[in-house]
Structure 1
Amino acid sequence: MFKVDIPPVTYSDPWNLSLHERMKLLASGRRRVAYFYEAPNNSTFRYRAYNMAQVLNDDKSGDVSASFFFLQDWARIDEVVDLADVLVICRSRYCHRLNQLMMKFRLRGKRILFDIDDFVFDSSYAHLIMNTLDEDVGDPARWDYWFSYISRLGTALKMCDGAITTNHYLAEKIATFSGLPVVVIPNFMNKEQLNYSDALFKRKQASGFARDDKIHLGYFSGSPSHKLDYAIIMPALEALLANNPRIELMVVGYIEAGATLSKFGDRVKRQPFHDYVNLQRVISNVEFNLMPLQSNAFTNCKSELKYFEAAVVGAISVASPSYTYAGAIRDGENGYLAQAQEWLSVIEEAIENSARWPTLIENAREDARSKYGWFNQREVILKALGVA
């Protein structure tokens, strides 16, 4: 394990602004972009609304400003409509309020875009989605939920002038379903996440990448829906722990390590979900970040975020060769790719080639900062919004 001697940070969501503060942000530029999301959260909202607004507002010229709004702000929604030139609806389900908001923008001849980061808008794929997420397909209530959720997103999407998404595979799915023009803005790290990550990495560099005599594998899950993905690597994890006493496993988030690994005692560690900034510290301690995914159309739409969140703090990723992971990782150069049957051999080879670790770490970090740092996204965002 890497020894990262830097304390956790006291974190509070930077988007916890009053409505007055958010209205003031929107009004500050000559061209104005309003992001709408049902209610703020630490995942989709952060990546697809807050991060975008942060980049747009960083320009001190006052040319373009942006802010974000929620259903709870409905009492002043007409002010948002009057101020904004462009509306971006982020992964929000159709309802009477959303319809009203879109019609108000439409009547003023203003552009409406739909930003969606997952393959959850076409109900013909509901069975695939439920199976991938290990939903109970025998429960009628789960079918009702997923058909409602997917269909309401798909309806809202089709009402817009265009769409924004995270990768080209998903963009093709959106275009086929909706007939709309689609542009790609990748997920990326905001200032808070990247600043703390840079501090962590610099501390590791200053120590000469000091480690203990153990090798830590990490699995980091932001939701409980990845049980079947994690199951892909369970046999390899059991064999690795049995064959090499130096190996330890850290499972972080909502996934349990698994009963079959309990025999390894405290070599298998469990940590709860962390906020997205302090998660970077936890990731920075492991040598290898494991990113298994099932192979299907739904998982091919997932973004690269688990790769770049690990790369920027110096953890080497081993990943399933999904569309985005295979596009981000150059096998043996900035990480490793492993087919379902190859996880054991790939991890063993990666551990054995410890002399290559510094090169992989540096390659991956440079790649992550250049492609997925907030400071390189402005022109991409402006072009996607049609305000470049």
Structure 2
Amino acid sequence: MRVLFLVWSSYPSDRIYADPSVFYRCFHPAEALRRRGMHTSVMHFSTVDPEELSDYDRIIFFRPQFSDKFLELHSTARQLGLPCVASYDDLFFDIEMLRQSNFRGLAVNQHKILASRPYNYAQAMYFFDRFISSTDPLADRIRAALGAAEVHVQYNAVSDEMLYLARMCTETIDREPLRLGYFAGGASHAPDLMAIAPYIAPALAEAGAEFFCVETVEVPDVIAKACKVTTTRRMSYAEMIRAYATCCVTIAPLHMNPFTISKSGIKYLEASLVGAATVATPIPDIMRIADDRLIPVETEEGWYDGVRQALAMPHGEAITRHQQERIRERFSTSVEAERLVKFLETVGS
């Protein structure tokens, strides 16, 4: 089977690998399918000549947006008799749900956001009958929008390469015993950190802990005044795993609403790779993969106790090895690839 992942991303066409969504939703499954003997490609839609589609058996449109180019590619695929699937990892195609996201409250170009989300997503969505979703709640939203839709849930997972890198990092990097890390995916998560800052700051101060943060968000003053703060620039995936390995605890706060309920729990898998405990908002997908190293917090006030509890949890080589083996057996891209192949075979039948 030959599978093409057609990508719509705001990243430059020659840097789509740096887009976290494309990394997890396209490159990871493409590599896992390749290991099973299939031919796969990941390409930015703007670089694809419609004639190239004939080289493939299945086309996966990742986050497709309606445009003349989209119509040309989709129409060509249909003329060639190629099964087409739309893949989503966020609820961008629902206008009401987008209003509940953090985008509206940020000092960003609102016209740019609304020009591409959700109208173009929604218009493209209605060209498909088959879908790939990153979580069960997101699959439910797709079915609610398109009652007859066939939806395969392909969970975010960890690749063999990430597991290998995590093992190398945990064997060679000393963990900071009281370092709490926050690895936000982007500036839209600044309000999430701001909401819990008054509650985690005293917990950090009492424990004499350090707050480690990637510079995708600003550190609230209440945290900066309470404890040692270390920030770092945006990192590559390899650098990110190394940074995770220095933390004993990570946090994954979200403002719970129908938009965030559809999000992935990948942040806990990233932390588990290096044996770190995590305090998190209990969105459904993170609870799907949770074990006793995850502390769910349902209220803002609960973050104080959650962080205190996590900072007191044990760490060590045996715990890390157990977490890595658990991920390999249950949450690896190899496991997800086997399920994806069955779905793609059904799509082509």
Using the size of structure 2 for normalisation, the TM-score is 0.89
User: Is the contact between residue 162 and residue 182 of structure 1 (CA under 8 Å) also seen in structure 2?
Assistant: yes
User: Which residue of the other structure, out of 160, 182, 201, is the alignment partner of 2:170?
Assistant: 201
CA 1:77–1:299 in 2, change beyond 3 Å: closer, same or farther?
same
Aligned counterpart for 2:289 among listed residues 328, 343, 353: 328
Q: Does 1:37 align with 2:7?
A: yes
Instruction: Select the residue among 103, 108, 113 that pairs with 1:145.
Output: 113
Deviations 1:107-139 (A, max 9, x none): 22221100010011112323213xx335359x9
Offset at residue 50 of structure 1 (A) = 1.4
Q: 1:357 & 1:231 partners in 2: Cα distance?
A: 31
Alpha-carbon offset, residue 211 of structure 1: 5.2
Could you tell me how far apart the structure 1 residues matched to 2:96 and 2:193 are? 26
The counterpart of 1:385, out of the listed 325, 339, 344, is 344
Hey, what's the Cα distance between the residues in 2 that align with 1:105 and 1:88? 11
**CA–CA distance in structure 2, aligned partners of residues 287 and 115 of structure 1:** 34
Q: How large is the Cα RMSD of the aligned pairs?
A: 2.4
Partner of residue 233, structure 1: 196
Return the index of the structure with the highest Cα Rg: 1
Aligned twin of 2:302: 342
Tell me if structure 1 keeps the 8 A contact 2:200–2:307: no
Equivalent pairs, count: 338
Q: 2:179 — aligned with what?
A: 216
What is the rounded CA distance, in whole Å, between the counterparts of 2:162 and 2:46 in structure 1? 27
Q: How does 1:24-173 map to 2 (within 5 A)?
A: 31-38=1-8, 39=13, 40-42=16-18, 43-60=20-37, 64-74=38-48, 76-78=49-51, 80-129=52-101, 132-135=102-105, 142=110, 145-146=113-114, 148-173=116-141
Say whether the 8 Å CA contact 1:37–1:45 is kept in structure 2. yes
Give a deviation string over 1:17-63, Cα, whole Å, max 9, x none. Answer: xxxxxxxxxxxxxx211110134242121111111211111124xxx
Equivalent pair of 2:163/2:324 in contact (CA under 8 Å): no
How far the C-alpha of 1:358 sits from its partner, in A, is 6.8
1:257 is the counterpart of 2:233: no
**1:133 corresponds to which letter in structure 2?**
F
**2:247 matches 1:274:** no
SS in 1 for 2:59: strand
Contact 2:65 2:116 in 1 (8 A): no
Instruction: Judge conservation of contact 1:319–1:337 (CA < 8 Å) in 2.
Output: yes
TM-score by length of 1: 0.80
Aligned partner of residue 41 in structure 2, secondary structure: strand
Unpaired segments of 5 or more residues in structure 2?
A: none
> Which segments of 5 or more consecutive residues in structure 1 lack a partner in the other structure?
1-30, 205-209
Using the TM superposition, give the Cα deviation of residue 353 of structure 1 relative to its aligned residue in structure 2, in angstroms: 4.2
Query: In the alignment, residue 234 of structure 1 is paired with which amino acid?
Result: A
How far apart, CA to CA, are the structure 1 residues paired with 2:69 and 2:115? 20
1:221 and 1:252 in contact (8 A); partners too: yes
